[in-house]
Structure 1
Amino acid sequence: MKTPHSPAFACLGGGHGLFQTLRAVRSLDHRSIDAIVTVADDGGSSGRIRKELRQVPPGDLRMALAALAPFDDTGQVWEETLQHRFGGHGALAGHAVGNLLLAGLVDVLGDEIKALDLLRATIRAEGRVLPVCARPLDIAAEVSGLDDDPRIMREVRGQVAVASTPGTVRRVRLIPEHPKAAPEALQAIEQADIVTLGPGSWFSSVIPHLLVDGITEALARTEAMRVVVLNLSAEPGETAGFSAERHLHILAQHDHRLRADVVIVDSQMIPNQSDRVHLERAAKSLGARIGFYDLREEDEDGLLLDRHDPAKLASALLSEYQQ
């Protein structure tokens, strides 16, 4: 493992979970940051752009860029502008400005990564944003509990449908199957000092990375510290009722070759010692140890939220890396 000096980060995920992770790692002394982002969104503004222009859905990519905008007045304006959604009832209603900017740049440049790099340079983002795959993907899930007989499995297609299903997701696959990872994403993983996977929607933002050809192999080759950041709670819909232990088992079921070095878990999520023993056993199946930390963000009244605090997560990552 490399020495803990200005590490290079590669962060895999999507949506709000990746946003919080990027906010965490950019506060640390770092050599570089690469966000490797899921491309299976099919809802809202991203879904419309994907369908009409046949482009990679830009929403999660836009959010990652916003997370990396500079912490100055101009950077704040760029973050708010990228995230701003048009109101009203016309053709632009619901579209995020950043989605339209990316879609326009892809149309002009003919390449998603060139478009992302140009927008990154324009806003002076403190890291690079890369799609995990250079083509849009669909998620198909095997779901139980949609019929009176719980043994009956139904297939649910689409990220939005999977994330909101009232049934229990058992397994997901990508359409098309075995898509190839973007070479830039593989290079970022292999050259990193710290690679993070999660937090985020487990079946629609985290696991899909493992189903893209080349990602698990790159995770095996890299000399980086490989970190799984566990969610703070089960999510309504796709992981309702899942224990922390089951989250790890699900990762292993989708790719038995996956190996990690540490799983970072909120200490308040699992106060029971026997449950911690079970979780540690599940982590060992990935080759990982468990790191328990206070990770939750607090509101102004001191109430704990189901959201990672970037400063706390940064401290946990640094602590593990310096061991």
Structure 2
Amino acid sequence: MLSTAISTAAEESTETSMKFTSLGGGHGLYQTLVAAKLSAPDSITAIVTVADDGGSSGRIRRELGIIPPGDLRMALAALAQDDEHGSMWAQALQHRFGGTGALAGHAVGNLLIAGLTSVLGNEQAALDTVGELTHSQGRVLPMCNQPLDIEADVSGLDDDPRVMRPVRGQVAVASTPGAVRRVRLLPEQPEANPDAVAAILDADLVTLGPGSWFSSVIPHLLVPGIVDALNSTDALKVVVLNLSAEPGETQGFSSERHLHMLSQHAPSLRVDRILVDGHILPSSTERRYLERAAQSLGAEVIFDQVRQRNETGQASNLHDPARLSEAISAIYQSARLAD
């Protein structure tokens, strides 16, 4: 079904062709990249966060001192060609070893990226080589060429809710029982990957999100070179808002507050559109608050149906790649016509 949709989109690519660049990490970026393939663009580039410190990625990072490969691996799996060869490789990349031995919990793709980095002497060369193996429909780039750490200011960890405590590490930030107020990268203001900057400047369409807001989305905005590129590019810039607040990171956050967090961490950031699922904000008052928050980013809010549903019509908290592709393509085409 996915291959058929891609083929159909490819036949119409004369009208919808674009250079598509997506910023994010984890499952949110995975869904966006699958949606990007359905849009049959001229090119797809994934720009991925590099602060993961948990699980297989964290172990490899600590032992080898390389960029954590987990989110990069997921992006490569998402971009694998939709044929038997690509599907086999995508499944192999995502496969995790079981048991209790030294390999338990490691993803095959993480080990492959780590091994190729050692052989080739360069992580980007390793990522590109895995892309060749999977017949990738796009390129995967780390946002920085060094591993980073996330540190958050968190309230609610003491009896006095006004007291802020630092919490360090992506896993710790994502699972904190307190309320995250602000995050920063360590080292602060890292240098952006020049290839990532070039991909943003060369793009026709750039997406940011969905994903873990403080550990997959906002880290991009803490890299000055990335923000400068976003503000300099002629691309249409679309923020894809999460379908719900996440336990831990954004528990209790409204859609409006998600946007305020972007402005708080990158005051100079300007984007064009905010894509929101139409069922998130049923009241006109909530929608007005969100539109007001979007104005601080220079953006217009677009409501569409992008939520995944099962056979019985029950909604999930995952974006549907086909619906997301249609919504983003419609936004892009509308902007082109307006120009």
What displacement does 1:110 show?
1.2
What displacement does 1:4 show?
6.2
1:1-80 map, 5 Å: 5-80=16-91
**1:163/1:204 contact within 8 Å kept:** yes
Say whether 1:150 aligns with 2:161.
yes
User: Corresponding residue for 2:132?
Assistant: 121
User: Corresponding residue for 1:194?
Assistant: 205
User: Corresponding residue for 1:161?
Assistant: 172
User: Corresponding residue for 1:140?
Assistant: 151
Greater fraction of residues in helix: 2
Query: Separation in 2 of the partners of 1:110 and 1:155?
Result: 35
Letter of the 1:221 partner, please give it. S
Letter of the 2:159 partner, please give it. D
- Which of 165, 180, 193 is residue 182 of structure 1 equivalent to? 193
Query: Separation in 2 of the partners of 1:213 and 1:136?
Result: 16
Say whether 1:220 aligns with 2:234.
no
Return closer, same or farther for 1:302/1:196 CA change in 2, 3 Å cut-off.
Answer: same
**1:39/1:136 contact within 8 Å kept:** yes
Letter of the 1:65 partner, please give it. L
Which residues of structure 1 form unaligned runs of 5+? none
What displacement does 1:212 show?
1.2
Secondary structure of 1:322's counterpart equals helix
Query: Separation in 1 of the partners of 2:137 and 2:82?
Result: 10
Say whether 1:205 aligns with 2:212.
no
Aligned length: 321
Letter of the 1:129 partner, please give it. V
Secondary structure of 2:88's counterpart equals helix
Q: TM-score, normalised by structure 2?
A: 0.94
Say whether 1:308 aligns with 2:319.
yes
Say whether 1:260 aligns with 2:291.
no
User: Corresponding residue for 1:130?
Assistant: 141
Query: Separation in 1 of the partners of 2:240 and 2:32?
Result: 9
User: Corresponding residue for 2:120?
Assistant: 109
**2:16/2:329 contact within 8 Å kept:** no
Q: TM-score, normalised by structure 1?
A: 0.98
Secondary structure of 2:210's counterpart equals coil
Query: Separation in 2 of the partners of 1:224 and 1:178?
Result: 24
Return closer, same or farther for 1:274/1:177 CA change in 2, 3 Å cut-off.
Answer: same
Query: Separation in 2 of the partners of 1:41 and 1:169?
Result: 17
Secondary structure of 1:205's counterpart equals helix
What displacement does 1:5 show?
4.5
Identity of aligned residues (%): 64
Which residues of structure 2 form unaligned runs of 5+? 1-13, 335-339
Letter of the 1:216 partner, please give it. V
Secondary structure of 2:23's counterpart equals strand
Query: Separation in 2 of the partners of 1:302 and 1:274?
Result: 27
| Per-residue deviation, residues 245-285 of structure 1 (Å, max 9, x unmatched) | 00000000001010000000001000110110010000010
Say whether 1:274 aligns with 2:285.
yes
- Which of 295, 306, 331 is residue 295 of structure 1 equivalent to? 306
Letter of the 1:128 partner, please give it. R
- CA RMSD between the two structures: 0.9
Secondary structure of 2:274's counterpart equals strand
- Which of 149, 167, 173 is residue 184 of structure 2 equivalent to? 173
Query: Separation in 1 of the partners of 2:221 and 2:195?
Result: 16
Letter of the 1:121 partner, please give it. E
Secondary structure of 2:217's counterpart equals helix
Query: Separation in 2 of the partners of 1:6 and 1:14?
Result: 24
Letter of the 1:102 partner, please give it. I
**1:4/1:321 contact within 8 Å kept:** no
What displacement does 1:123 show?
1.2
Letter of the 1:192 partner, please give it. A
Secondary structure of 1:26's counterpart equals helix
